[in-house]
Structure 1
């Protein structure tokens, strides 16, 4: 079912060329502070993500990247500007057009793995049999089919995050938004999850926007990296990642990877850091 739809979408996209899936237009966000000048968190943020891209947005802590992702998700309103998904203006919370995966696992501990994945489907009034089929399919996609009847407390951190990703994918969103999803994991599990996400993207080619402060993670996963500056937050640089689409962890040691890392780090430091 889903596999045939993915293949058909890829065929039509190859003929028509990549379409703009997500567009952020002149986003500005400020907060009022009593008896003080308003605090500007984001200023003139503009960027685009094309269909079937995996794009990372990197920036130092406090640059506003989480606020920006929450605006894109519809959880926080912008002061001005707009977000477009498939040409439609975002006006509400995440739905069928935007799936969200947070750094915390956000699973319901009293529900089984399968019930957690099915949670959003229940609000779509989907027939029970179709729900079961879709849950089974996406649990297999994330490699957790045999844990369908387990509870979150029985899973490792990486497995919990796979369940959260399966839950987001089960709603078949146009764009998957990820807010430092591997930030709470230990180094070894984090690398395993990076490999998992890249393999998942290769399999489904869902459009992904992920924010992270981990430069190596951003380069390893992305087709493009946007670099954010701070005070106020804005897009400082766009860096294309000229690496093979299929990547293993050893690529992080390659001269090409190291050179891209140098470019991203220099962009994060800003023009004053240039020698």
Structure 2
């Protein structure tokens, strides 16, 4: 986990600056987000937790450039982002794979849009399929994969374009409990390998603590960041950590904040 001195010396990789979002519903203005300020530093894994309807997904979609803010701005490496870009990779709860493409073709999709030479595409796809443990499924189609395997393909596709920041919108929310824990362990190991900067939203408090270096708790109506909880746990983690007194203490603190 980056210490205070390291943070002060580093520039943020991702900045959310005074971001608010409102929608007009049946003639009335509905404020969803209220002046969100957030900094994420290089190599950090940060989670946002909050109740359903608190604006987590809206905030992530604004960071991804899929939804414009009503006010405020998002910056990557100090540059304002006007919309979607290759500097941000996105993984959704639904697997969003193209069913008519093989696993390898799905992972290569973004590389084709970048007009990368074929030989380089094949090398990049092979590397990331190996990274997510799906080399032997390169020629398979999404319908032949389990839910966890589909999400691994989606993560490989997002990583293949080498984004500066990986954005994850409840990526394991649709999985059963056992597969979900396996994918949490997989993502922890993957982050150890790549140390990519990650912003992930989840409603699962245990998942947020297990994966991240910091957890931000959101309040709702309108969504605000109400508390930041540093996760002072070893960087390398296994699932047994969830049973430790330190982990349970953090879980109590975050649950208490959510209930307030």
Q: Same fold (TM over 0.5)?
A: yes
Q: CA deviation at 1:266?
A: 1.2
CA drift of 1:219 comes to 0.2
1:231 to 221, 230, 252: 221
Which residue number in structure 1 is paired with residue 3 of structure 2?
none
Deviation for aligned residue 1:19:
3.0
Deviation for aligned residue 1:251? 0.5
What SS does the corresponding residue of 1:181 show, helix, strand or coil?
A: coil
Equivalent positions of 1:35-184 (< 5 A) are: 35-36=27-28, 38-93=29-84, 95-184=85-174
Matched residues in 2 for 1:267 and 1:44: separation?
19
SS at match of 1:177: strand
Question: What pairs up with 1:248-259 in 2 under 5 angstroms?
Answer: 248-259=238-249
* Cα distance in structure 1, aligned partners of 2:10 and 2:149: 33
If the length of structure 1 is used for normalisation, what is the TM-score? 0.91
Q: Output the CA distance in 1 between the equivalents of 2:178 and 2:25.
A: 42
Partner of 2:20: 28
Match of 2:203 in 1: 213
What is the number of equivalent residue pairs in this alignment?
A: 254
CA-to-partner distance for each residue in 1:2-47, whole Å, 9 max, x for gaps?
Answer: xxxxxxxxxxxx8x954310000001100113333x1000001111
Do residues 19 (structure 1) and 11 (structure 2) align? yes
Q: What residue in structure 2 maps to residue 273 of structure 1?
A: none
CA distance in 1, matches of 2:124, 2:113: 14
Number of the residue aligned with 1:6: none
Write the deviation string for residues 107-139 of structure 1: whole angstroms up to 9, x where unpaired: 001100000000010111111000000000000
> How far does the alpha carbon of each residue in 1:51-74 deviate from its partner, in whole angstroms, 9 at most, with x for none?
000110000000000000000000
Aligned to 1:4: none
For 1:76, what is the secondary structure of its paired residue?
coil
3-state SS in 2 of match to 1:247: coil
RMSD: 1.1
1:69-101 deviation digits (Å, cap 9, x = unpaired)? 0000000000000001111111112x2200000
Unaligned runs of 5+ in 2: 1-5
Query: 1:217-254 CA distances to partner (integer Å, 9 max, x unpaired)?
Result: 00000000000000100000000000000011011000
User: Structure 2: how far apart are the matches of 1:45 and 1:92?
Assistant: 18
The secondary structure found in structure 1 opposite 2:74 is strand
- C-alpha separation in 1, matches of 2:137 and 2:25: 48
Partner of 2:255: 265
User: Structure 1: which 4+ aligned runs deviate by more than 2 Å?
Assistant: 16-19, 33-36
Match of 1:240 among 224, 227, 230: 230
Given the alignment, which residue of 168, 177, 188 partners 1:187? 177
Residues in 2 aligned to 1:121 and 1:153: alpha-carbon distance in whole angstroms = 23
